[in-house]
Structure 1
Amino acid sequence: MRGKNSRMVMTFTAVIAIIGGLAAWRFFTVRGTGTCAVLRSLPASGKHGWRNGELRYHGDVMKYYKVRSLSPMADFSFTRQNISLSGYRDLTPTEASFLFEGARAVIFSTSDGTRWELVLAPHAELAFTTWVESAPHARQIRPDYNQLRERVKRIRSRATQR
């Protein structure tokens, strides 16, 4: 009986240590290294659905890390070419009471049809809008011919295997 209890305590301690390690890693690697942001997917109403987090820009990808997440990966990832700005709206008095002062919601959609609202500090909103609008059009991006060649080889090898 005593051995069974000690094994259970050791397992519980190990699980708590792993969760604590993940929380510490996320806290020290994400906190303060990006732009504070509040995000929610639409449709939503009132003050429901808002999630606090941080945005990080990595070239053509914007990564969103929720504050209350233990995942070592970004919770949401948006590619600049797949974002289209839909507009802006003023915050309701209820939303303004817990969001950034003087901010407004940026409404955008992704290529899969999902609509989002993003609230940032005014200077960060300008940076986000500029980042999205400065994206090169998909037709202007030069193809990587080596990558295309490899893709054709894979397709041909699959066809010959059948």
Structure 2
Amino acid sequence: MEFLFWALVCLAVLAVLLAVWRFLTLRSRGQSILLRRLPASGVHGWRHGTIRYNGDDLEYFKLRSLSPLADRVFNRQHLDFHEPRQLSEGEEKFMSRDLSIATLCDDGTHYEIALDQHGLMALTAWVESAPDIRHERINHAALRDRITRGKNGK
């Protein structure tokens, strides 16, 4: 019985440490947002969180999660950005009025993201500055190895 008690205490301490670590590391290095997956009706489905830009990935961390990894990762080359809209009357009841809502499409899955004007401008610039997938940089060393592979085997 005593072992079970200490195991539960250790699990509780671990959960608190994960929550504190996630809160302290993400709050200082990200943009606070609200996100929901579409289709959604009314004001349901909004989740508070933080986004962080990591190269070609946009990482979304839910506020009420203990995972050290991102809860959702959007790749910039597969992301479409649609014009922002204003808040509805129902959304104004729990969101700040200076937020705008934009729609993101990630390989056919649609999401709405609510963020302030500065965050919206940063997201728009980040998505639009993505290189076209057809213009990927050629790895000359890999191409040379591929071409000469047949000659080295003779």
Pick the aligned partner of 2:58 from 57, 62, 65: 62
Instruction: State the Cα distance separating 1:32 from its structure 2 match.
Output: 2.4
Q: Distance in 2 between matches of 1:102 and 1:84?
A: 23
Corresponding residue of 1:44? 40
Corresponding residue of 2:95? 99
Instruction: State the Cα distance separating 1:77 from its structure 2 match.
Output: 0.6
Q: Map residues 1-162 of structure 1 onto 2, 5 A cutoff.
A: 5-111=1-107, 113-144=108-139
Q: Distance in 1 between matches of 2:85 and 2:133?
A: 28
Instruction: State the Cα distance separating 1:15 from its structure 2 match.
Output: 1.1
Q: Distance in 2 between matches of 1:76 and 1:49?
A: 15
For normalisation by structure 2, the TM-score amounts to 0.87
Q: Distance in 2 between matches of 1:127 and 1:32?
A: 17
Change (3 A) 1:15 1:146: farther
Q: Distance in 1 between matches of 2:144 and 2:69?
A: 31
Structure 1: gaps (5+ residues)? 153-162
- The one-letter code of the counterpart of 1:124 is G
- The one-letter code of the counterpart of 2:22 is R
Identity across matched positions, percent: 39
Instruction: State the Cα distance separating 1:149 from its structure 2 match.
Output: 8.5
Instruction: State the Cα distance separating 1:117 from its structure 2 match.
Output: 0.3
> Is the 2:87–2:97 Cα contact (8 Å) retained in structure 1?
no
> Is the 1:39–1:116 Cα contact (8 Å) retained in structure 2?
yes
Structure 2: gaps (5+ residues)? 147-154
Instruction: State the Cα distance separating 1:145 from its structure 2 match.
Output: 5.0
Q: Distance in 1 between matches of 2:10 and 2:79?
A: 42
- The one-letter code of the counterpart of 1:135 is A
- The one-letter code of the counterpart of 2:31 is T
Instruction: State the Cα distance separating 1:86 from its structure 2 match.
Output: 2.8
- The one-letter code of the counterpart of 1:119 is A
- The one-letter code of the counterpart of 2:96 is F
Change (3 A) 1:84 1:9: same
1:84-103 CA deviation, whole Å, 9 max, x = no partner?
11332221111022123222
Task: Give the number of equivalent residue pairs.
Answer: 146
- The one-letter code of the counterpart of 2:115 is L
- RMSD of aligned alpha carbons: 1.8
Corresponding residue of 1:157? none
Q: Is 141-150 or 101-110 further displaced after alignment?
A: 141-150
